[in-house]
Amino acid sequence: MQKAEQQELFKQIMGNYPTGVTIVTTTDENGKPVGLTVNSFASVSLDPLMLLWSIDHRVSSLKAFTEGGKFAVHVLAGEQQELCKTFASKVEDRFSGCDWSLSENGLPILDGAFGVFECKTFKAIEAGDHTVLIGEVIDLQVTPEKDPMLYHRRVFGPIPEEFYTPKQPVL
């Protein structure tokens, strides 16, 4: 099979793989908050708590994430579609239209997420056209009355009702 054909199949399979959606934030060298929408997020380790995500080398805030040493991962709630779109867009100041604050760890935290992980970078691994960032969790919070967002075939939104019938316990 030709490389281009393999890449098409790869995108087809990955694009059909359902995920949640996160927004990852940090500050750049001037202290300006930066962030992007990310679905390459995954759990890595329970002891110590570790997670990962990967960043495309073309992303404008690449340096802030690979050299900044820390980042915050927001697991979006179902109703945060506008935020998801803004942080996936080319909008220069993505933070001006939303409520956020700086945490004790100096990370920009967006209001309204289902869950937030604040991390220090454990390792940054170059992998093809992306860098995989592994973070060690230094702080975390959850809003259990919210439900996370679902992403499938470029559509994102709340988890459909039938997934909650009967409502399964989280653990």
Ligand X SMILES: Cc1cc2nc3c(=O)[nH]c(=O)nc-3n(C[C@H](O)[C@H](O)[C@H](O)COP(=O)(O)O)c2cc1C
Name the site residues for ligand X (rule: CB under 6 A): 21, 36-40, 53-56, 59-61, 87-88, 90, 151
Is the CB of 71 or the CB of 87 nearer to ligand X?
Answer: 87
**From the CB of 36, what's the least distance to ligand X, in Å?**
4
Minimum distance from residue 104 beta carbon to ligand X (Å):
26
53 or 114, CB closer to ligand X? 53
Q: Considering Cα of 121, then 126, then 131, then 134, what sign does the dihedral take? A: negative
Shortest distance in whole angstroms from residue 90 CB to ligand X: 5
In the bound state with ligand X, the residue whose beta carbon lies nearer, of 112 and 157, is: 157
State which residue, 153 or 167, has the beta carbon closest to ligand X.
153
* Cβ 53 to ligand X shortest distance, Å: 6
Least Cβ distance, residue 23 to ligand X (angstroms):
8
Q: What is the C-alpha separation between 131 and 4, in angstroms, rounded? A: 22
Between 107 and 133, CB nearer to ligand X: 133
- Token pair, residue 44, equals 């890595």
Can you give the three-state secondary structure of the chain, one letter per residue?
CCHHHHHHHHHHHHHHCCECCEEEEEECCCCCEEEEEECCCEEEEECCEEEEEEEECCCCCHHHHHHCCEEEEEECECCCHHHHHHCCCCCCCCCCCCCEEECCCCCEEECCCCEEEEEEEEEEEEECCEEEEEEEEEEEEECCCCCEEEEECCEEEECCHHHHCCCCCCC
